[in-house]
């Protein structure tokens, strides 16, 4: 077998669904890669076309496609070699925090895939790998389709992870919603949740509301709700993967925000140890304005108002959620005071 000179075989070969797998060293860049040789059938041209879309995709949570090469008249995909282990069913059965962290990373990868105009079509635990430093990566794009050519004439995919619309007869058009469905099933598999029998039928049917929370009672209610929505029978009823990512990120950042209040020379900080602050402006015996801000672990909200108070020149009510940067005005006449309120922007570290 003649492989391009920049690559050196360095391990045992393997066989995958798309074809043979070669473990190599990229001598130019001194990095480990794998080369997948595609089977020489009528689908090869389409597969190459689909896979080339991945060359432009740069995501921390998606396997990187480096190049497409020709070896002995066979097309080969040069891919990032991910050192680590595939995810397994039940891996996070008793670790909801770990489950949320992993699902968030998968959602980030899927979001990048969808933004690149690609539908993965085979999301499942053993197509997701955790590398040696804990980063989750989605791989195996053998069934992927471009968004503008997402049609199939046959039932294809992994049974149990296939959305209901993929089971139809004849030509079937599908959307990114099939990945969202498979994401929901993957979440259930990783947590070893008890799945309603309706979802185990071929094709899956509608399940009763509330079953995710009943199966995973320690999971936060809004996470349980959106995972259940991922498994809606109708694709248009499912959330986008970006909506899922937003909910998961919200919970991973719980109690990690800080709010800085500056009023003249006085500086105060709100955080998970100091959740409530009252700010007042008094002139003589008269209350110009007063506001109480409270941190609920996710957002900074107005808990109480007295006198005249505006935020960024807007009249507000109790329950108002403060934006990232605010100018709070206490009072409405020449004696009014200005207060700045700035929220830190913590990020999820993966």
Q: Measure the CA–CA gap between 340 and 342, rounded to whole angstroms.
A: 7
Cis before 17 (ω within 30) = no
pLDDT of res. 51: 75
pLDDT of res. 338: 97
pLDDT of res. 74: 85
pLDDT tens-place values along the chain, 350 residues long: 789 999 999 977 887 666 789 999 999 999 999 998 877 665 676 667 667 778 889 999 999 999 989 898 888 899 999 999 999 999 999 999 999 999 999 999 999 999 999 999 999 999 999 999 999 999 998 888 888 887 876 788 999 999 999 998 888 899 999 999 999 999 999 999 999 999 999 999 999 999 999 999 999 999 999 999 999 999 999 999 999 999 999 999 999 999 999 999 999 999 999 999 999 999 888 999 999 999 999 999 999 999 999 999 999 999 999 999 999 999 988 889 999 999 998 999 88
Q: Is-contact 124 186, C-beta < 8 A?
A: yes
From-to residues of CATH 3.30.200.20 in the chain: 7-80
Quote the CATH superfamily of domain 84-253. Transferase(Phosphotransferase) domain 1 (1.10.510.10)
Angle at 189 between CA 183 and CA 192, to 5 degrees: 145
Write the class of the CATH domain 7-80.
alpha beta
Strands (E), 89-141: 118-119, 128-131, 136-138
From-to residues of CATH 2.60.200 in the chain: 258-344
Q: Is-contact 320 349, C-beta < 8 A?
A: no
Q: Is-contact 241 183, C-beta < 8 A?
A: yes
From-to residues of CATH 1.10.510.10 in the chain: 84-253
Does the reported pTM lie above 0.75? yes
Angle at 111 between CA 220 and CA 83, to 5 degrees: 90
Q: Measure the CA–CA gap between 35 and 21, rounded to whole angstroms.
A: 6
pLDDT of res. 143: 87
CATH architecture of 258-344: Sandwich (2.60)
CB burial of 152-170 (b: ≥16 within 10 Å; e: otherwise) equals beeeebeeebbbbbbeeee
């Amino acid at each position: 077998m003649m492989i391009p000179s920049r690559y050196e075989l360095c391990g045992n070969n393997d066989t995958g669904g798309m074809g043979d797998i070669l473990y190599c060293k990229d001598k130019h860049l001194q990095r480990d890669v794998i080369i997948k040789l595609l089977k020489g059938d009528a689908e090869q041209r389409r597969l190459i076309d689909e896979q080339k879309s991945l060359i432009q995709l740069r995501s921390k949570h998606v396997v990187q496609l480096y190049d497409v090469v020709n070896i002995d008249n066979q097309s080969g995909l040069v891919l990032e070699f991910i050192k680590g282990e595939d995810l397994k069913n039940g891996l996070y059965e008793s670790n909801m925090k770990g489950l949320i962290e992993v699902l968030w990373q998968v959602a980030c990868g899927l979001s990048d895939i969808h933004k690149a105009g690609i539908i993965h079509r085979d999301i499942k635990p053993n197509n997701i790998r955790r590398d040696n430093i804990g980063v989750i990566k989605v791989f195996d794009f053998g069934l992927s389709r471009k968004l503008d050519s997402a049609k199939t004439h046959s039932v294809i995919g992994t049974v149990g992870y296939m959305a209901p619309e993929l089971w139809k007869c004849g030509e079937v058009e599908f959307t990114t919603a099939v990945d969202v469905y498979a994401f929901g099933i993957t979440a259930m598999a990783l947590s070893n949740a008890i799945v309603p029998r309706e979802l185990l039928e071929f094709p899956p049917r509608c399940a009763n509301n509330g079953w995710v929370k009943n199966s995973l009672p320690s999971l936060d209610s809004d996470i349980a709700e959106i995972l259940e929505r991922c498994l809606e029978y109708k694709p248009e009823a499912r959330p986008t993967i970006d909506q899922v990512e937003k909910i998961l990120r919200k919970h991973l950042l719980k109690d990690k925000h800080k709010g800085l209040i500056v009023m003249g020379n006085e500086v105060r900080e709100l955080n998970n140890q100091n959740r409530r602050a009252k700010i007042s402006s008094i002139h003589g015996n008269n209350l110009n304005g007063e506001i109480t801000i409270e941190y609920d672990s996710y957002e900074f909200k107005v808990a109480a108002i007295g006198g005249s108070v505006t935020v960024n020149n807007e009249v507000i009510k109790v329950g108002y959620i403060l934006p990232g940067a605010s100018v709070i005005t206490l009072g409405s006449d020449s004696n009014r005071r200005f207060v700045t309120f700035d929220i830190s922007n913590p990020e999820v570290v993966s």
